[in-house]
Structure 1
Amino acid sequence: MNLTKYFKKFFSSNQASGIILIFCVAVSLLIANSSAAESFQAFLDKETGTDIFHLQYPVSIWINDGLMAVFFLLVGLEIKREMIEGELSSFKNASLPIFAAMGGMLVPAIIYASLNYGTTYSNGWGIPMATDIAFSLAIISLLGNKIPNSIKIFLAALAIVDDLGAILVIAIFYTDQIHWIYLLLSLGVTALLFLLNFLKVTKIIFYLIPGLFLWYFLHHSGIHATIAGVLLAFSIPTNVSDVEISPLEKLEHSLHFPVSFLIMPIFALANTNITFTNEMISGVTSTLGIGIILGLVAGKLLGINLFSLLAIKFKLSSLPHNSSWKQMIGVGLLAGIGFTMSIFIALLSFKNEIEIQNEAKFAILIASFIAAISGYLVLNLGSHRKFTEADEN
């Protein structure tokens, strides 16, 4: 009986999903560097699905484009709720993550490009622009109530804007071909979803079914399909009432457990299977490795905080509620966890150049590890109190 109570408490805590995610990262790295590496990679590369409607993809694609769209749906729901009735409901608060994300994309790209201009690595300038939203939120969740909710919301909003920016960069600079018919169909479905909201349709099923079509059309358009989750989230109706539970809040509540304890761990297992080689280590000291590490760690920190400072100085934005610049520095470091999106851009940047891809992967892993540890330590050491519900109001 005590064990059951313990596990109920464990799975309801903010830290639980972060602990499980980090455990899955360790397991995945162990598998990738063991005798089971080839079998595990073969499983991820195995095509599954149906040829009908061209829905047959490797397992890894179903995870990264399919399951992660659900993750983006949940985060999008949380961001929308905060925009309607919470921390992001004022323009000054809502604008800060946008300015911060802009700095967090531009400065890392400039650092990388300046180090690799005219070299064979020059095409990888987009690699340090990305923030891995799943891993960064997992690390900050380990701090529990030592961090105000406003900082967690700021990081989530920043990471979403950052990922949308990365998706846009991929679509413009790294996509061989945009299928315009599918893109137009995606816009049509998006318009339908917001029309349903305007007509005050409240049954969630009437949003989820078009949402599936939106994912399908976006995926076939050549644009990263996870953006479908964000678009769907922003179309779900909500309200500012504490009495009536809105469709958004119902869906948000139902998604929390499967996303935290199923989708994110699967995502970590599938995307951390990096097999270490000698070539990877030598690549860290090249301009490729230095550009990635400096871009993700120093570039993100500098860009996010510089642009945030400018936005606040010009009175366009304000610091998140109950937060400090020490915590903003910690967030800037956590945003340097590029990981899966950075690896994805690295694969697109250096197609058919396996050795450079492996060097980039290792540099991304090192940078993400440095960003995660340093960000956690700065936030943990810089927070000397625990925030209660009364503090958040």
Structure 2
Amino acid sequence: MTTAFPRIVRLLPTRFSRDPSTPRSTENTAAALLLLFTLLAIGWANSPWAETYSAFWDTDVGLSFGEYHTEMSVKHLVNDGLMAFFFFIVGLEVKAEFAIGELTDRSRAAVPVVAAVAGLILPAVIFLAFNPSGDDAQAWGVVISTDTAFLVGALAVIKPKFPARLRIFLLTLAVVDDVGALGAIALFYTDDLRVTPLIVAIVLIGALAGVRFLPRLRGPAYAALGFALWIALYIAHVHPTLAGVAVALLIPVFTPERRQVEQTVDLIRAFRQSPNPEYARAVTRGLRESISINERLQTAVGPYVSFLVLPIFALANAGVRLDEATVMAALQSTLMWGIVAGLVLGKFVGITAATALMRATGLGQLSPGMSLRRVAGGALLSGIGFTISLFIVDLAIDDPLKQDEARVGVLIASVLAFVLGWAFFRITDLISPPEAVGMKLVRPIDPDRDHVKGRPDAPLSLVEYGDYECPFCSRATGAIDEVRAHFGDRLIYVWRHLPLERAHPRAFDAARAVEGAALQGKFWEMGRELFAHQDDLEWSDMYRYAVGVGLDIERFDQDVRVHASKVLHRVQDDAQDAEVMDLNSTPTFFVNGKRHKGPWDAASLIRALEAGRGGDVTEARR
């Protein structure tokens, strides 16, 4: 076994990585571009050349093939054609989250999932309270969706204290939000069905499900069948963008398979020894197939959606004319106020109340480091509705004047949600400022969840954040043994993960391996093996150590490779706690809940524990 398997695992998207800086910068840039094109659309629609805006987007584009001819406007080509790629990416992300991401941990997903459902229903109810009947009532779908790109961008601009866990919560919520919005489009904004092309679409979906079994050319097969499905849905009068979702949900997703990676490494070795085109093609194919098509497509197609499709969509749909007549009509319109109230008030109350209810009833709990106050701030930002909101405006409303009123409502709601979210975080952080970063243990000891040695009710506590490739952590084990021998059952000792991947490239995988062993009750035994062999932490070595400590190797392989989400979440939870506390070195100790400064030899730790015996011991246990 070589380093290729763990290195490929570390290249997976942010849900598997501690360092999200690059994805966040990409998301922020995409949100900024989306905002820029929104302003360009508004400026164009209100410029002296305003008539060219409508004229351009209403221009028909035709396609002829023999006696068959079809045409649609440029705007519909964007909304029905290009936006299929947007929903395709959404579908890929949804599939990945449910298969190998945050939503695989049902207990963790429960709170944001229920909050998202409440954030879908309550805004629609509030909107219908303003517009209970008539044509305007059909636009209730405009208020159900949060714009993920703007939400992430707004969070980056506001920069609340310690945003990592809030960001994960909001992204999980946004996934469910997207599922609900797509379902609403499919169920409520599709009519006049044609049966024959719909049957063809169903057959094509069955064919797409079988593509995964093809030995070769799966990519072209997905593309061809996906395009055919788009045409079939278009002819069937089902909104064709749903073809993107259907294709995405049928594309498999998996973590890298060790056997495939090893075979590719052997090919790389052969190519290194004897470079030739045959080996080069085999290596390229092996590297490509080591990563699931889902992951590859997100990487390949995602940037085009973020930097091309969505800006063009904004340019085509955000061009509302803000003349006096339009603005006055909007301000007097229950349609506009229903959209503003639904997005801003509905999202805030729905998400916050559902979260509070889940916590109060014990049906769910927030991730470590999260609070209801943080959720409330995120709920305010969730009122930013743009992409799908504007998309549904075009589906739900036929009258161009009413469409303008609805677009004004979406824009006002989005700006208001951002301003209120910014003010909320600024004011709450000012009233209740966080303490010095990292001086107190951010997450109390939980004997049911943490890896502990000693009595759960011991009066003294020692928490270590470390990694298994750190030589100082290995040396500290002797000091810990002395400290535990000195205090006996008066001390509880806790290990938490802080894999410093830049300094120790194998630390993250070593932590995963130990968590895999923990599922079989061999956490401490596996940890000792890793500390004893810090220069040999390849996956092949760790499988050998797993056998040495008596693990069921097939179960271990399943836990760290196939069903890896639980293992990953345990490591990531500890690492994110360390990020919140700004920990950047190992080992880092917390004595009775307070960060230990100075030497960590046995004598120094004993003195620190003795000095803190009558202090804030309860802080670590709360």
| TM-score of the superposed pair, with normalisation by structure 1 | 0.82
Distance 2:217 2:387 in 1: 35
Which one of the candidate residues 154, 160, 166 is aligned to 2:178? 160
| Contact kept? 1:159, 1:335, Cα under 8 Å | no
| Contact kept? 2:255, 2:291, Cα under 8 Å | no
What is the SS of the residue equivalent to 1:225?
A: coil
Task: Spell out, residue by residue over 1:149-182, the C-alpha distance to the aligned partner (whole angstroms, 9 max, x if none).
Answer: 52353143033123213303533xxx44122323
Q: Does 1:50 align with 2:58?
A: no
What is the SS of the residue equivalent to 1:216?
A: helix
Q: Does 1:391 align with 2:576?
A: yes
| Contact kept? 2:112, 2:169, Cα under 8 Å | no
What is the Cα-based RMSD across aligned positions, in Å? 3.5
Distance 1:265 1:70 in 2: 13
Q: Does 1:78 align with 2:125?
A: no
Partner of 1:246: 292
Task: Spell out, residue by residue over 1:46-100, the C-alpha distance to the aligned partner (whole angstroms, 9 max, x if none).
Answer: 1224034655221111212222211222232223223222212122344555433
1:15 maps to amino acid: N
Partner of 1:26: 39
Partner of 1:4: none
Structure ranking higher on relative contact order (CA contacts 8 Å, 6+ apart): 1
| Contact kept? 1:82, 1:88, Cα under 8 Å | yes
Which one of the candidate residues 130, 135, 151 is aligned to 2:169? 151
Task: Spell out, residue by residue over 1:260-281, the C-alpha distance to the aligned partner (whole angstroms, 9 max, x if none).
Answer: 2222221222221111132332
Which one of the candidate residues 314, 323, 336 is aligned to 1:268? 314
What is the SS of the residue equivalent to 1:371?
A: helix
Shift of 1:33: 0.6
Shift of 1:231: 1.8
Shift of 1:347: 4.7
Q: Does 1:226 align with 2:241?
A: yes
| Contact kept? 2:28, 2:152, Cα under 8 Å | no
1:161 maps to amino acid: V
Which one of the candidate residues 273, 278, 281 is aligned to 2:327? 281
Q: How many residue pairs end up in the alignment?
A: 381
Distance 1:40 1:76 in 2: 31
1:276 maps to amino acid: L
Relative to 1, partners in 2 of residues 1:324 and 1:10: Cα closer, same or farther, differing over 3 Å?
closer
2:389 maps to amino acid: S
Distance 2:577 2:93 in 1: 16
Relative to 1, partners in 2 of residues 1:48 and 1:86: Cα closer, same or farther, differing over 3 Å?
same
After TM superposition, the structure 1 stretch with the greater mean CA deviation from structure 2, 294-303 or 375-384, is 375-384
1:391 maps to amino acid: Q
Relative to 1, partners in 2 of residues 1:178 and 1:10: Cα closer, same or farther, differing over 3 Å?
closer
Distance 1:355 1:139 in 2: 30
| Contact kept? 2:79, 2:391, Cα under 8 Å | no
Shift of 1:143: 6.4
| Contact kept? 2:383, 2:414, Cα under 8 Å | yes
What is the SS of the residue equivalent to 2:47?
A: coil
Shift of 1:235: 1.4
Q: Does 1:192 align with 2:188?
A: no
Q: Does 1:116 align with 2:131?
A: yes
2:352 maps to amino acid: N
Task: Spell out, residue by residue over 1:23-58, the C-alpha distance to the aligned partner (whole angstroms, 9 max, x if none).
Answer: 111111111110222112211111224034655221
Relative to 1, partners in 2 of residues 1:51 and 1:340: Cα closer, same or farther, differing over 3 Å?
farther
Larger Cα-atom Rg:
2
Shift of 1:18: 1.5
Relative to 1, partners in 2 of residues 1:189 and 1:82: Cα closer, same or farther, differing over 3 Å?
same
1:266 maps to amino acid: I
Please state which structure has a larger fraction of its residues in helix: 1
| TM-score of the superposed pair, with normalisation by structure 2 | 0.54
What is the SS of the residue equivalent to 1:222?
A: coil
Which one of the candidate residues 336, 351, 354 is aligned to 2:383? 336
What is the SS of the residue equivalent to 2:218?
A: coil
Which one of the candidate residues 399, 403, 414 is aligned to 1:357? 403
Relative to 1, partners in 2 of residues 1:316 and 1:269: Cα closer, same or farther, differing over 3 Å?
same
Distance 1:209 1:225 in 2: 15
1:181 maps to amino acid: T
Distance 1:81 1:20 in 2: 26
Relative to 1, partners in 2 of residues 1:228 and 1:137: Cα closer, same or farther, differing over 3 Å?
farther
Partner of 1:297: 344
Shift of 1:348: 4.8
1:41 maps to amino acid: S
Relative to 1, partners in 2 of residues 1:224 and 1:140: Cα closer, same or farther, differing over 3 Å?
farther
Distance 2:423 2:240 in 1: 34
2:92 maps to amino acid: L
Partner of 1:259: 305
Distance 1:380 1:154 in 2: 24
| Contact kept? 1:284, 1:362, Cα under 8 Å | no
What is the SS of the residue equivalent to 1:151?
A: helix
Relative to 1, partners in 2 of residues 1:319 and 1:188: Cα closer, same or farther, differing over 3 Å?
farther
Distance 2:324 2:50 in 1: 17
* Identical columns (%): 33
Relative to 1, partners in 2 of residues 1:178 and 1:307: Cα closer, same or farther, differing over 3 Å?
farther
Distance 1:162 1:49 in 2: 33
| Contact kept? 2:386, 2:411, Cα under 8 Å | yes
Q: Does 1:105 align with 2:120?
A: yes
1:163 maps to amino acid: A
What is the SS of the residue equivalent to 1:48?
A: strand
Distance 1:60 1:360 in 2: 17
Distance 1:314 1:181 in 2: 49
What is the SS of the residue equivalent to 1:51?
A: strand
Distance 2:338 2:27 in 1: 34
Q: Which runs of 5+ in 1 are unaligned?
A: 1-8
| Contact kept? 2:113, 2:173, Cα under 8 Å | no
Q: Does 1:181 align with 2:199?
A: no
After TM superposition, the structure 1 stretch with the greater mean CA deviation from structure 2, 236-245 or 117-126, is 117-126
| Contact kept? 1:271, 1:340, Cα under 8 Å | no
Shift of 1:380: 7.5
Partner of 2:555: none
Relative to 1, partners in 2 of residues 1:299 and 1:65: Cα closer, same or farther, differing over 3 Å?
same
